[in-house]
A and B are shown apart, each in its own frame.
Chain A
């Protein structure tokens, strides 16, 4: 009898394991579908963002054309502020500040350069679940949940349009379940026909633009084959170095390291500070945390949608691998 019971339990365990694996693969398929939808569908909608005890209403206009993606995200309340994406270029316009143009040093991809492999399987740092259906902005949605297995990353609950896979709502939460950020469309028009005028800014003043671009051609391009000058002593499980880039222009000199676990990612920037003093600090922008600190007369900035202790740990554990020949050791 005991043998039969053990066999039965084994079968149930196997079935649960296979079912869990199938769920995870389903979730992974939904994630791929979501990325494809967000990169290939034109849409306009109104978005509500809640984080840090603050609520913002944003208007999003996103057009996919032959020339690439053009997008305008602008705030409907608070100080006027806008982001305009024109293929490889992003302009950030905030009332009271100089306009900022950030040139993309690497070509825009339809799909993220980060591989999703590792999200599914026993080694995965996440548990992936399908969580039924819901309704968001008047559309039927499939809910998926991604729960982290440790405290170095956030979990996510995503509401994806049942028909297209478009992201309609996202919620970022801590491993303990506390909500960090909510983004939700309250109204969205998928497959919208968007005129050029909708993508023009009301704020732009060409006379006051700070332009940031990486010069030197391929020098700034992110690449997995480049050797980094800096690396953290320890990386949380699942994260790996995806690419290395450098800004070698006259106005900017920095190293950019991109790490990812297949879902969450963070960037590390190391740049000379030129003798000025910097106070170590962490800032939150929604679920994004930004650590600023110093090391060997360099400013270290860690930016990512990961918890504050994670960016701090990475920033504090960064070490120089090889000193550039033109700089003397401190």
Chain B
């Protein structure tokens, strides 16, 4: 029984990989891409495969900026890999040549679609019709390329349990509210006090060396 389940699972995983590869190669129509991206956000194994596909493509197109040895390893692995040709697929070189531009276009739609969906999740409610999704936010899909990226905020992040219960945007709304009230209370009349409300939040870890104890000590030493 377990064997059967494992077999089904493996088959399902392989079945999921095909369309993901097609998405990365730009061989999927817009409706299919949007559907797949909705699934990507919830399926870690598919997401991992999506990331690997992009990594492979970046290596093959000499766009990868990581360790040089990795490029060679990826190319060697691809040469050794006996990948079944899907019916109707173009030769790989032509695929990368012609499909690259299409892939870029579809990726734009794809990431936009996912970002849009994340916005919906963050809002835990309906999305406004007149609110477009935008690409420049960091999403789950591009975090791999910037591991230390400042997390994109604007409601896409939660920090405490109560906020999770109340919806992710609740935390940011509360902080925005307090920032605005602080600006009002301080009597600020200029753009400089309000501009930070519109910037993306970044979590801060206060290093022990910069703790209040050390600050106090440093100040005492200075005196």
Contacts and interface: CB of A to CB of B under 8 A. Distances in A.
Interface in B154-168: 154-155, 159-162, 165
Interface of B: 119-120, 122-123, 125, 127-128, 130-134, 136-137, 150, 154-155, 159-162, 165, 169, 172-182, 184-192, 194-206, 210-212, 215, 218-219, 222
- Give the interface size class of chain A: 35 or more
A92 B180 CA distance: 9
A4 interface: no
Nearest to A43: B191
Given A208-B128, A286-B196, A313-B212, A35 B154 contact: no
Contacts, number: 241
Instruction: Give the interface centre of B128, B137, B192, B211 by most chain A CB atoms within 10 Å.
Output: B192
Nearest to A274: B162
A298 interface: no
A286 to B, nearest CB: 4
A285 B150 contact: no
Contact of A97 (B123, B159, B190, B219): B123
A298 B212 CA distance: 22
What are the nearest 4 A-B pairs in CB distance?
Answer: A96-B119, A112-B187, A276-B162, A313-B212
Nearest to A100: B173
Contact of B215 (A81, A152, A303): A152
A287 interface: yes
Contact of A112 (B122, B188, B192, B194): B188
Nearest to A69: B189
A52 B179 contact: no
B181 to A, nearest CB: 6
A10 interface: no
Contact of A313 (B165, B179, B190, B215): B215
Nearest to A314: B212
Nearest to B156: A96
Interface string A79-100: 1111101000010101111101
A292 B165 CA distance: 17
Contacts of B174: 301
Contacts of B202: 52, 54, 283-285
A235 interface: no
A83 to B, nearest CB: 5
A151 B218 contact: yes
A270 to B, nearest CB: 11
B198 A96 contact: no
A281 interface: yes
